[in-house]
Amino acid sequence: MPDMASLVGTAPSIEGKAAYLDSPFVTAGDRVYMVGQQDGSFKEIGWHIKGEMGGIWDHPIKLMDGFDATLYKDGQAIALNHADSFVNFPFANLHRFMLASEQLKVERWQFVPDYKEGIAIQYRLTNTGDEASQLDFEFTGHADLRPTWLGEKSGMEDQEDQAAYLQEGGAWLVKDQSNPWYLVYGSDQPPISHSGADNSFAGKGVSNSLRYKLNIPAGASRVINFLIAGSYHSKDNALATFMALREQWPQALKDKRQRYAQLAVKSKLTIPDKHLEQTFEWLKYNCDWLVRSVPEIGTGIGAGLPDYPWWFGVDSEYALKGYMAVGQTQPVYKTIALLDSVSESVNGNGRILHEMSTNGVVFNKGNINETPQFASLIWDVYSWNGDREFLKKYFPTVKKGLSWLLTDNDSNHNLFPDGFGMMEIHGMDSEMIDVAAYTQKAFSDAAKMAGELGDPDLEKRYQQLADSLKRKINTAFWSEENESYADFLGTDKQALQLIQDAIVRADTLEKPWAVAELQETAAMIRKNPSGGLKPFVVHHNWVVNTPMEMQIADSSRAKLALNTAGKFVNPFGLFVTGIDRDESAGTDEGSFQGSKVFSYTGAVMTLPTGVLAVAENNYGHPDKALDYLQRISRSFSFALPGSIYEVSPDYGMMTQAWNIYAFAIPIIRQFFGIEPRAFDKTVIIKPQFPSGWEQASIENVAIGEDNVSVFLDSQDGKHLLRVTQSKPDWKVQVVMPEKQGITYRVTEGDLSVYSGNGEARFSGTGTAISLEWPE
């Protein structure tokens, strides 16, 4: 009988920590995924649907709350729900149960086949004793066929589940009594008996058991496989999937392993920091875990698991830039198509939605920042793929969205749209710094799009708006006394109300320094009243770094603002809201103490820290950028092996889509300096490596039809930079800084050379070019 252990083979793996066996893991697939605990149990976890975000999901419905396995030996019941260890693989999981007193070792393996509404589970039981072992093995499934979040708004009403035993297949068939939602589960071996079982989970589900007889000789092993399949359409579909998985799961596992091996070799990073290197590799796997496909609606990346498995505008707009950089292009195209089509359906004016469930119900039609960020995403993708039809398809949405920004959301006509951006704090809906920064970048990128599509008048108009916004951001939003860009522009009244709320927050969190600062700010406002809009720094929110992320800030302001930002970090990264920091933050490397009710108060998160890394690189500080990436990577495998939590190091979502933005952009686009220009078959390499990277490479970076690799080798007092590509007719341009006493020597390739503005540019075609220069 095929053995999952041998089929998984030597694939990468990471063992979890004993302290986190009671925390969740995911077995991922694009149709079905399973969320359980690392110890092999299933708990009622999650807050979006309270207590229901774990288990097995086949969106837009849930299939099961989970399952139990129990061994019966010599009249004793042994529950397999307290594993001694957990091992994560990119595409599978393993739980180990060491039953020394019973002279047994049990392994539970599972994986989700690609494109299938089902999951395969294998138990491998090894007799470690000197005598044969006679066992009964009982598998109990806890069905819960119920709709996902907002299902009631799409006409999906949960009813009681009903179960029937299929004698011919030796499996249980479960149906929601009022809906065509089906679940089938059983083994590829015939059971000796079947029965109903107690169900302790909340909801309208039903539990049933299957029992099997196992005879295991001394020193031998036996495996028993279980297949779980579902359908939200028909009984026939569920049964067909179940029968197919019975026969085809070994090949499906081989196929999935091979597909994941291909994910690994794309944008393959090799650097001296092996922990960061491993983090980057597994983030590519994490990207695939979050692809969610519902054929009737579309395919797109979910934001995070377990509570955000559905589709978001802004999360995608950050993450998909990273997906493009690591060569996972199909999820990019499908997510953009989904966001565009549904946004057009519900808004019709270019506004990009914020959040929609997998049943198609849109919860939030869009925060203000999501529309300009969509425009910049389209330009970024076009730079990577050079597909003019792609640009032509989405440019109408971009144009409508930019018009909506300034027509419907700029009541005082100062070019700063009004409304909520990234900060979900009550009252933070005036003129926000992140909205302004992303709007400026959107007009700049839209100008390039208009130029590509042959509309010079529109290109000029958009560029003029971008230039004007850049000037205005650097004056209107700058707070000299705080050496920072402001959180927002607003009136004294707005600021005083936000300050009062912030004082309550800071006082509750016992942050006396923040209370004192806020009280001083309020006193200054009252002492110097103003009738117009002013820049206010209230929360020290992370979004004040977006002008540096978008490279809008002039260098003098950037230097001051980045230095200010560095005051609001802990060992894991940047605080979402700076006033939440205290003096212990500088050395606190322990678990995040979140509130009982899910909240981001006090949080350090990956995205704000990644934005700060991008910002530092923009102003020529790769060592500082690397420091921020290393802070984030301290959370890697902290709780879930192979993943980084949403809130550092172990709170919120156990895996999060936008983490790839935080790493792929600083590493690929900035350290290695890869600037894709697929639309004119050009690749620009402008590296800025951190100190200590003597040998480093990024291989197989897909740019249009080209495949580019960059290698750095430093030894014997010399640096060698080598760039290879698969398309010899594409132009490669290497941009290096001009430094006194440094002479660059071309050692490979026929290159033209241009010097000016403090740079040396080396241009040519061919499959490889190399430059050498002294240390």
Please write down the HEC assignment for all residues of 173-220.
EEEECCCCCEEEEEECCCCCEEEEECCCCCCCCEEEEEEEEEEECCCC
Quickly list DSSP for 20-41.
GTTSEEEE--SS-EEEEETTS-
pLDDT of residue 108: 98
Structural domains counted in the chain: 2
d(CA 382, CA 337) in angstroms, rounded, equals 14
537 — phi, psi (to 5°)?
A: -105, 110
d(CA 30, CA 293) in angstroms, rounded, equals 5
pLDDT of residue 580: 85
d(CA 438, CA 368) in angstroms, rounded, equals 10
pLDDT of residue 506: 80
Residue 715 lies in a domain: yes
What ranges make up the beta strands (E) of 581-622? none
pLDDT over 70 (residue 658):
yes
d(CA 230, CA 181) in angstroms, rounded, equals 8
Asked if 446 contacts 455 with a C-beta cutoff of 8 angstroms, the reply is: no
| DSSP character at residue 671 | I
pLDDT of residue 75: 86
The answer to which of 276-285, 354-363, 526-535 has the lowest mean pLDDT is 526-535
pLDDT of residue 589: 77
Query: pLDDT band at residue 137, thresholds of 50, 70 and 90?
Result: very high
pLDDT over 80 (residue 582):
no
Range of the domain at 22: 4-262
Q: Domain end: 243, 262, 281, which one?
A: 262
The pTM of this model reads 0.97
The answer to which of 87-96, 119-128, 287-296, 740-749 has the lowest mean pLDDT is 740-749
Structure tokens at 17: 């920590």
d(CA 25, CA 4) in angstroms, rounded, equals 19
pLDDT of residue 503: 86
Average pLDDT across the chain, whole number: 95
Query: pLDDT band at residue 536, thresholds of 50, 70 and 90?
Result: confident
Encode pLDDT of 162-212 as tens digits: 999 999 999 999 999 999 999 999 999 999 999 999 999 999 999 999 999
Structure tokens at 59: 């969106």
Helix (H, G, I), strand (E, B) or coil at 275: helix
Q: Domain end: 200, 227, 262, which one?
A: 262
- Output the 3-class SS for 520-589: HHHHHHHHCCCCCCEEECCCCEHHHHHHHHCCCCCHHHHHHHHHHHCCCEECCEEECEHHHCCHHHHCCC
d(CA 353, CA 404) in angstroms, rounded, equals 13
The CATH number assigned to the domain holding 705 equals 2.60.420.10
616 — phi, psi (to 5°)?
A: -60, -40
β-sheet bridge partners, residue 185? 172, 228
| DSSP character at residue 352 | P
pLDDT of residue 415: 96
Structure tokens at 327: 């060569």
pLDDT over 80 (residue 457):
yes
Residue 543 lies in a domain: no
pLDDT of residue 597: 65
Closest CA to 121 of 112, 130, 134, 132: 112
pLDDT of residue 762: 97
Encode pLDDT of 417-455 as tens digits: 999 889 877 667 789 999 999 999 999 999 999 999 999
Asked if 633 contacts 556 with a C-beta cutoff of 8 angstroms, the reply is: no
pLDDT of residue 583: 64
β-sheet bridge partners, residue 676? 683
d(CA 625, CA 543) in angstroms, rounded, equals 17
Helix (H, G, I), strand (E, B) or coil at 80: coil
Bridge pairing between strands 655-656 and 759-764: unpaired
Encode pLDDT of 334-353 as tens digits: 999 999 999 999 999 999 99
Closest CA to 249 of 175, 170, 187: 187
Q: Domain end: 217, 236, 262, which one?
A: 262
Query: pLDDT band at residue 587, thresholds of 50, 70 and 90?
Result: low
pLDDT over 70 (residue 568):
yes
Asked if 180 contacts 211 with a C-beta cutoff of 8 angstroms, the reply is: no
Cα–Cα distances in angstroms (integers) from residue 631 to residues 178, 544, 569, in the given order: 51, 20, 9
d(CA 311, CA 308) in angstroms, rounded, equals 8
Length of the chain: 775
pLDDT of residue 595: 61
d(CA 299, CA 288) in angstroms, rounded, equals 12
Cα–Cα distances in angstroms (integers) from residue 303 to residues 314, 354, 656, in the given order: 9, 11, 6
pLDDT of residue 136: 97
Residue 590 lies in a domain: no
The Cα diameter of the chain in Å comes to: 89
Encode pLDDT of 391-421 as tens digits: 999 999 999 999 999 999 999 999 999 998 8
Query: pLDDT band at residue 495, thresholds of 50, 70 and 90?
Result: confident
pLDDT of residue 584: 61
Cα–Cα distances in angstroms (integers) from residue 258 to residues 9, 10, 122, 253, 435, in the given order: 12, 12, 20, 9, 42
Rg of the chain, C-alpha, whole Å: 28
Residue 667 lies in a domain: no
Bridge pairing between strands 33-37 and 24-27: antiparallel
d(CA 763, CA 730) in angstroms, rounded, equals 11
Residue 227 lies in a domain: yes
Residue 49 lies in a domain: yes
State the CB neighbour count (10 A cutoff) for residue 55: 29
Residue 621 lies in a domain: no
pLDDT over 90 (residue 71):
yes
Closest CA to 575 of 608, 527, 547, 598: 608
Structure tokens at 307: 């509570």
pLDDT of residue 586: 62
β-sheet bridge partners, residue 302? 311
pLDDT of residue 521: 86
Residue 209 lies in a domain: yes
Encode pLDDT of 695-733 as tens digits: 999 999 999 999 999 999 999 899 999 999 999 999 999
The CATH number assigned to the domain holding 146 equals 2.70.98.40
